[in-house]
Structure 1
């Protein structure tokens, strides 16, 4: 890809424009067209490296020109600066191709035929968007291959340079199968945008047929998108995309194009992940529909605790683990089970549910969000806390856990950026510092667990000093992974309240917490502006730990609200409390929009099983009954 960077360096344009042309995200999206020549090159060993580099640059610049052309005909507003650059790219590409292929070369006739095929497909697509007639599978594939016709030129260009058409037909088929698969994917991914811009696509045609057959009338993009999945159309088309990618990968492998085959395997994996997300989303919807939405009337503290315990007992998977929070990594198992186990063990470590859960969590060596992810600091903190509350030996777990602590006392979620990138399949160009830097919410939870482990008193001291240093010029601690700073502040107060010399530093954060309470008694989720039982329970527990007497009014109002808002099944309603920033996001406040979605990054996710929230509320309510009894 250095060929493109070197060329951009020669352009007489402002630095800002050069940076935009080298934007890592954009280049990642253009990966196929930057590497297509090098992917195909092993099939043509006769071609020199200098010719391959020149062809790679010229073919990519021509692709960039076509991209601008597509945008121009699709939009009435097109920046003149981009238009100027697109012509610059076109002229450079044509001069470069002319140097590689002299007049009279068969390449030019093939190139001309492919251009005609491309334009005919664009015209056919535009006519379809205007008429919005039923689109057949045959027409869809014809347009998909036609729109990718200039990519087929890569095969012809290499064959002409090598002076051999030996593998031409199979490689043309390989590229065609790939682009049919990509078109299936793009039409699903861009469904809402295509509808908004008046584009007529194959899945849109199928969705309209489905609505007509079922007597449904709507032009709402969001509803149409829902029906795309409810009808099974999206899933079927993703399955077809996989089939075409597999055909392409088979050809690439038989032709000895190992790098190209690896790229195609990633496309297959991406489609399979999308299908899994769809399946997970339907599962999440089913789970949520089975929950109670009726408030338990005439609730007392004792009955509330009993009902919450019953809810947690009924919602344990195969009696060995709790699951919650649906994300792109799947549902959380280990992290959720360790957290809930710690909450319950603080109440009563003789609860018969706990030993099987702890044994299951310990048997999974990853100490992670779930078995598919790598070990993280938070999951490890909660596992150590769970073990410690259960009276189990934590020596071995502690050694792995302490690896997430920095020298300054800050705690990180992930330690090894290389392993993290590999797990997330991220290129080196994408920063993961947001996930590998220390954060107050992770550090506070770790310090909270450390407070009860005498053998790690020095680590507790260092972690508390770090938390105290974060308060300089601030009124409270900030959360990274959570939608409210209540989380980090609650655990921070609870940790420092165990430190005789630093407890006084909690006064300002405690006042901040109290001031965040709404007049009705709850603490809200700032990401959704909804009452949050989770944040309410955390805030109450922190105020109680710091100075129950001074904050008695806030605590009483909060508990009263919790008792009045428990559901008849023993749970509390949840909101989107978990925040998943992109790996390069250092400051969550820099994200302009958080998507309400279970998948991807820069999104906010709910504990759809209500287990995280319910166990947190249960723990808080029990702490209050225990303190009342001791009085």
Structure 2
């Protein structure tokens, strides 16, 4: 039971939460009480820190804050005012809580825990006391209901806090309800008391969700206790807002656990071993890397797949909440494998024919066809990024005829209805008019969740596919799109991607397109060259720590495309960096790559490994 470094905003004005129940008290008085309350709250945080961490040097800060609080309160309540009787009562409660908390490990039943949670919030109750004693009618029933509601709120808050503070409290050996509950079902010694593993088990075993549900139930009790006092009050709404925060966290957490369970299920699905034979390769790094990719292939590409929780809370309406797909990832991976097999003269025709068939089986069965990032999510429309990547695979595997059969309708909708005046092309493939009910919903989600308009790296990927497919037929579209792409290039020479992390994926796909026109766009290519020269790190890598392997790989792709002698040393250093970072199992670390939602990046060891191997060719 510790205190979080960042406390909820409402502690700055705690008495205001209860002002609605005592409306005749002057607002200016409540402001003064709020100032006093926040000053004392800060002193309690520091006192807790002293007790928990033996930070004795902070005691003078505590005394100063408490002295300041008494001065402020004395301006409202004279020396002999009854308020001070309540104040002393709450002080006693708080110190009782400290004593009881130290003994919780010896007697950790729920009643003792709830008593500590209630008494530890004693100075929160002062916010109710201070208004009650100033009120004219002294309605004791309202006062008691508010205190009871506050008790349930404090218990709910502490339960949630213990889930969030699991690791910190475990390290400090402080009592934590979530730690205690997990200890009932898990022998910590079997995991060498490794707090990182235990924290994962908290959720995998369902204990964390159970504690969060208990927290939500107490917050509901806190609301129900004061329902008769009117629900349109600040205190009621504060409880509700906090409850919704916990429900959101619970649902996201529950979704995360379900994605882990889904990945475990996928691994168990039997799959035929038709991965290509790479025995002729003698290079150790490539053998180990391809062995890692093959091992994931034989587990149904469980590591490669993107698995997300998209539930009803976010207004998704599908038969399932956990969605798994590797359509786009597989096409990206195969692009790397095509280069690798070609470089080592490996016959992988049967493998890629099977991969083409796999993609065809995942094509949308609707008026447009094409491919969605998550085919099982009806709110996600087909997009030109998937379409462009799959077209490239069909072309590179000598199956151009598949484009005419399966892609032309989607291409025509994009060109006729989704090109912007700038030459940019909208990401989502939806007709402008006569939308079906499903398309209307997709259009709504594009507006409210995914975003509309053109995304430069997506445009570049799609236009590159059209250039490979039929540059003459789509000449005007290609020319306008390239003008748009060049207009989006940053002064430093890179492109900023909407859907991908780092500066180098977007830069690579844009340069790859421009490179189809060797004698044109020289100024833009020079900017890229300067960017590469100026952005390599001392260790040979490119970009930031969290996506160095990927960014370094994309930078090497750019260097290869530019064929500039002055970049040869940069390439050598970059490849050495990648070689030095291969892991013992043959892979390279997963790094943030695709960003479908805030704070929920897609990353994959399998895909990172494929990109690095391609960069090492």
Normalising by structure 2, what TM-score?
0.64
The separation in 2 between residues aligned to 1:468 and 1:599, in whole angstroms, is 24
Question: Which position in structure 1 is the counterpart of 2:9?
Answer: 31
Measured in 2, the distance between the counterparts of 1:370 and 1:144 equals 44
Aligned equivalent of 1:502: 521
Deviation of 1:285 (Å): 3.1
**462 and 209 in structure 1: CA distance in 2 versus 1, 3 angstrom threshold:** closer
Q: Which residue of 1 aligns with 2:485?
A: 463
Shift of 1:543: 6.3
| In 2: Cα distance, 1:145 partner to 1:599 partner | 38
Partner of 1:606: 603
**1:282 lines up with 2:260 in the alignment:** no
Distance 1:248 1:269 in 2: 14
Separation (CA, whole Å) in 1 of partners of 2:95 and 2:391: 69
CA change 1:49–1:190 in 2 (3 A) is same
Q: Deviations over 1:278-305 (max 9, x none)?
A: 433333334444549999753689xx9x
Kept after mapping to 2: 8 A contact 1:159/1:168: yes
Closer, same or farther in 2 for the Cα pair 1:34/1:125, shift >3 Å? same
Measured after TM superposition, the shift of residue 399 of structure 1 is 5.0
Mapping 1:87-486, distance limit 5 Å: 87-128=63-104, 132-162=105-135, 163-212=138-187, 216=190, 218-258=192-232, 259-289=234-264, 290-291=266-267, 297-298=277-278, 323-324=306-307, 353-354=359-360, 357-358=363-364, 382=385, 385=388, 390-391=407-408, 392=410, 393-394=413-414, 395-398=416-419, 443-450=456-463, 452=466, 454-455=476-477, 457-467=479-489, 469-471=491-493, 485-486=503-504
- Structure 1 contact 477–509 (Cα < 8 Å) conserved: no
Q: Rg bigger for which structure? A: 2
Q: Which residue of 2 aligns with 1:577?
A: 591
State which drifts further: 215-224 or 507-516.
507-516
Could you tell me which residue of structure 1 aligns to residue 20 of structure 2?
42
Measure, in 2, the Cα distance between the counterparts of 1:97 and 1:323. Answer: 57
Q: What is the root-mean-square deviation in Å for CA atoms of aligned residues?
A: 6.0
Distance, in Å, in 2 between the alignment partners of 1:577 and 1:225 is 22
**How do 1:68-79 and structure 2 match up within 5 A?**
68-77=46-55
Cα shift at 1:71: 1.5
In structure 1, how many angstroms separate the alpha carbons of the residues matched to 2:252 and 2:13? 29
Using structure 1 for the length normalisation, give the TM-score: 0.62
CA distance in 2, matches of 1:125, 1:268: 25
* CA drift at 1:516: 12
Q: Over residues 58-95 of structure 1, what are the superposed CA-to-partner deviations in whole Å (9 max), with x where a residue is unaligned? A: 21221112112111222233665x944x4443233222
1-side partners of 2:75 and 2:366: how far apart?
66
1:202 Cα deviation from its structure 2 partner: 2.3
Which runs of no fewer than 5 residues in structure 2 stay unpaired? 282-289, 339-351, 393-406, 428-443, 467-473
Aligned-partner Cα distance in 1 for 2:27–2:448: 33
CA distance in 1, matches of 2:82, 2:327: 66
2: distance between equivalents of 1:386 and 1:501? 24
Which of structures 1 and 2 has the larger relative contact order (alpha carbons within 8 angstroms, sep 6+)? 1
SS at match of 2:175: coil
Flag the 1:449–1:283 CA change in 2: closer, same or farther, 3 A. Answer: same
Between the two proteins, the alignment pairs up a number of residues equal to: 517
Shift of 1:218: 3.2
1:55 maps to what in 2? 33
Structure 1 portions without partners, runs of 5+? 1-24, 317-321, 406-418, 425-434, 566-571, 582-597, 625-631
Alpha-carbon displacement from aligned partner over 1:516-575 (angstroms, at most 9, x marks no partner): 99xxxx999974799x6x7798568656765699999x99xx9xx99xx9xxxxxx9674
Distance 2:141 2:425 in 1: 56
Residue aligned with 2:591, SS: strand
